[in-house]
Structure 1
């Protein structure tokens, strides 16, 4: 199987950039603790941009946020998701959009062939296919958040015309046999 890392599409210069989300403790963004956000009002302003920010379907930073159409599609393909509603507001342009904080399953699938920098951050990810049981997941055991989809999910997302993301093919190891990242 082929796997792809989902990253923010940096070519969209006016994509909405939420502010204040870093106030959510990262440890609450886990399957075990996400329910603690039920009582929080998750409403954030977006950074002011000329002409207003574009509300794309995927916002990667500071935490991954998904539009309603993207979230609905993820729920159809992956049943083990935990979601929390988030509202993004552009006060200057009087725009407001609903997004979703999605907590995907965590899969510990980092291969020994992965490469890391001296500070422990990822340089080159190689995943172990035999560990993977989900079409959409977060790679466990890394300092940074890495979201991954399988080929079928990536193709399905692209067919729906969702915006704001790019896909980077990952190298993988399948039962001792390395698969290259074309």
Structure 2
């Protein structure tokens, strides 16, 4: 049971950048405990103007969003994941894309072998697989950072398809 850290592939320099997300989606809301509050939130954002915009399948910052097509496969593997619909609108081009704020279950699965910096930030993530509950997608609990972990089975399913903007890094265990 290997796990991978899900992150955005920053080689896509023209990746869509939604504006104003930080003002609407506060970090403390990104847990399933706030599902009703998130569901009632209007997630409609304009995107930063650029010569070219790539609508990547995963946006990591300022909040984790997945494309509609990526959501369809993730929800098959991780049905307990909360998805909140949103829209990204390019006013210049009169184009709109549906994205989903993704909020996986937060699980304390850090191994005692994980390393922390003196300021409390995570330096080295080591996953205790016995505490993941076999979840296909989860947020790492007990850390300041927002880290999404993906099970090997889901990672392989993504890699067999033509998704873009996704980077998977094997987590130590």
Q: TM-score range by the shorter chain?
A: over 0.9
Q: Distance in 2 between matches of 1:19 and 1:118?
A: 33
The equivalent of 1:175 in structure 2 is none
**C-alpha root-mean-square deviation of aligned residues, in Å?**
1.1
| Structure 1 segment 1-182 matched on structure 2, within 5 A | 1-23=1-23, 24-51=25-52, 53-133=53-133, 134-172=135-173
Shift of residue 102, structure 1, vs aligned partner: 1.5
Structure having greater relative contact order (Cα 8 Å, sep ≥ 6): 2
Q: Distance in 1 between matches of 2:108 and 2:117?
A: 19
Q: Distance in 2 between matches of 1:78 and 1:37?
A: 19
Larger Rg: 1
Normalised to the residue count of structure 1, the TM-score between the two structures is: 0.90
Q: Distance in 2 between matches of 1:137 and 1:73?
A: 15
How many residues of Structure 1 are paired with residues of Structure 2 in the alignment? 171
Residue 92 of structure 1: SS of its match in structure 2?
A: coil
Q: Distance in 1 between matches of 2:94 and 2:44?
A: 14
Shift of residue 57, structure 1, vs aligned partner: 0.6
Shift of residue 39, structure 1, vs aligned partner: 2.8
More strand by share: 1
Q: Distance in 2 between matches of 1:35 and 1:50?
A: 37
Normalised to the residue count of structure 2, the TM-score between the two structures is: 0.94
Runs of 4+ in 1 over 6 A off after TM superposition: none
Residue 112 of structure 1: SS of its match in structure 2?
A: coil
